[in-house]
Amino acid sequence: RKEVEQDPGPFNVPEGATVAFNCTYSNSASQSFFWYRQDCRKEPKLLMSVYSSGNEDGRFTAQLNRASQYISLLIRDSKLSDSATYLCVVNEVGGNKLVFGAGTILRVKS
Amino acid sequence: DTGVSQNPRHKITKRGQNVTFRCDPISEHNRLYWYRQTLGQGPEFLTYFQNEAQLEKSRLLSDRFSAERPKGSFSTLEIQRTEQGDSAMYLCASRGFGTVNNSPLHFGNGTRLTVT
């Protein structure tokens, strides 16, 4: 079983739609969680950290469910510019290795 | 540009040849990572340095791969006797002091390796 699993998609949505991605992780000792965004042929960039209480950044909301070992990302009012691959990233407690999921492809169309 | 710099951007080599990639992290960052990414996959962890010490290395990294960070600044990744399966994007990332929560990874543009 992979350490971090994501639905690869692609998710094809119209502009203005709300879309949600889930990610599951296998190591219950995992401590820190992130969503990174990767545009085509570009390097990954941090989108947001995921906190236990859930957190929001504009149109983006991240949630963590430790009991079920999953993380979610909700994007409201999708824009064309949101089209990218969204990578779920997990870090073990006390560790420095960040493990990436395979990514979920989002395509927002007009 | 004060971001993470990687050279070369592209490398085409014949099977069996050795290749070396260089990464210059953000200057104040003491932690440096190498990842490998293939099409349709997320970045796969290869190795991690804190200053000049290589503290973690993936089990997936064969003996043909070696990485160094001699003075705790730039790093090199060498692949000996390249194989076609080594074809991938090699990404370097760095981060500064503190926890991963307050010091996120910053990636370079990567080196795309093609082994023919």
List phi, psi (to 5°) of A71.
Answer: -125, 145
Which candidate, A3, A1, A5, A2, places its Cα nearest to that of A104?
A5
CA B98 to chain centre: 21
Joined together, the tokens standing for residue B106 give 């910053």
Contacts of B55 in chain A (CB under 8 A): 96
Contacts of B45 in chain A (CB under 8 A): 97-100
pLDDT tens per residue, chain B (116 residues)?
579 999 999 999 999 999 999 999 999 899 999 999 999 999 999 999 999 999 999 987 889 999 999 988 999 999 999 999 999 999 999 998 877 777 889 999 999 999 99
Note whether A93 contacts B: Cβ–Cβ < 8 A. no
Contact assessment for residue A32 and residue B102, using Cβ atoms and an 8 Å cutoff: no
Joined together, the tokens standing for residue B63 give 């003996």
When CB atoms are compared, the residue of B40, B45, B101 closest to A99 is B45
Contacts of A55 in chain B (CB under 8 A): none
Q: Which residue of B has its CA nearest to A36?
A: B105
